[in-house]
Homo-oligomer: A and B are copies of this chain.
Amino acid sequence: MKFRISRSALTDAVSQVSKAVSNKTTVPILTGIKATVDENGLWLTGSNSDLTIQVCIPTRQDDKELVKMETMGSVVLPGRIFSDIVRKLPGDEVEWVVDDRWKTVLRSEQAQFELKGLDPEEYPRLPQFQEDQMFSLPSDLLKSMIRQTGFAVSTSEARGVLTGVLWRMEEGRLTFVATDSHRLSRRQADVEAPEGLTVENMVVPGKSQSELGKILADRTGWVDVILSENQMMVRADNLLFFSRLLDGPYPDTNRVIPQGGKTEVRVSTKEILQSVDRAALISRDGRDNVIKWTVKKEGVVQVHSAAQDVGSVLEEVSAQVDGEEMSLSFNAQYMLDALRAVDSDEIQILLTGAMTPFLIQPADREDALHLIVPIRTR
């Protein structure tokens, strides 16, 4: 195995696959990054067994030669140190030579590193996919769906399937649902899918979804999502992202979403967010991190919180109020998460009672909603 490669292309690719590499793992070879060079370019793979990221550096890109292959081959290098070395190498081009015992020499200008590599045959194989269960959507849309739901998953491993996000697909409409049973976030969008494709119960681990969001961060263009029984694959340009799926049926959440309310409030997203953010400074020192809203007919939402040993906060945000006056208390962090996920300038709040779940939605669209269960207070 011998080739030369553009250092900047290598740095980018290594930093991407490193996102999947964990320093602590029960499978030692997974602390490594697998590298395979052939006539198409260099393939790098990182994995923590839950998720796997593979990136290809093509031989040529935009008329620039990125990889100059002399002899093909494959090796696994220790992930952390390899990625640090690549980042700090001098020069524009790295020479990479591996002998038949996987001893690897990386040479760039005056610097020469020798690393002990591992047998690539011991690295786990990538899952195989049939491409019959596949749909496509713009990367930006997928990222916004991830950002607007991921925070609502349960962080307790004991909650099993609730630590994941439900991805459902029906009649070309993709729905993401996440809930920890105290709050729920849902986002929908029309995507490009073959007619008749229905996906009922695909649950993506919250951590995988969040890594997917990060690795897509700078990417535009379309991505493909491809499914098998217990794995998913996301394909974007020269990137493959694999994640295992969570077992077990995801609960039916449609029935918990109220269809109408006693009180409807419209308010500036920014004003109510800043106000809740300030009130949270007091509530976080209290027992349950509770903030109270009092919606008043004259067109204000009073935001209030008190913590026994610290003090209290009170402010008013002007709003458009239709329906009954109402007071309700909620977890400050849940509200901040929901409000920060809203892209629109105005939100609509739909209240059904002091003790029943209420909805936060962007005022100008129906494809996103956040449900929060109020907290009973004295």
Contacts and interface: CB of A to CB of B under 8 A. Distances in A.
A236 interface: no
Given A110-B315, A111-B315, 17 more contacts: A81-B310, A84-B281, A85-B278, A85-B281, A88-B278, A110-B275, A110-B316, A110-B317, A111-B278, A112-B315, A113-B278, A114-B311, A114-B312, A114-B313, A114-B314, A115-B310, A115-B311
Interface residues on chain A, size class: 20 to 34
B281 A313 contact: no
Contacts of A274: 88, 90
Given A89-B278, A277-B88, A311 B111 contact: no
Interface string A304-338: 00000111111111000000000000000000000
27 contacts: A81-B281, A81-B285, A84-B281, A85-B278, A85-B281, A88-B274, A104-B311, A110-B275, A110-B315, A110-B316, A110-B317, A111-B275, A111-B278, A111-B313, A112-B313, A112-B314, A112-B315, A113-B278, A113-B311, A113-B312, A113-B313, A114-B311, A114-B313, A114-B314, A115-B310, A116-B309, A116-B311
- State the number of copies, please: 2
A78 interface: yes
Interface in A101-122: 104, 110-116
Contacts of A88: 274, 277-278, 281
Interface hub of A281, A311, A312, A317 (most chain B Cβ within 10 A): A311
Nearest to A88: B278
A112 B114 CA distance: 63
A223 interface: no
A165 interface: no
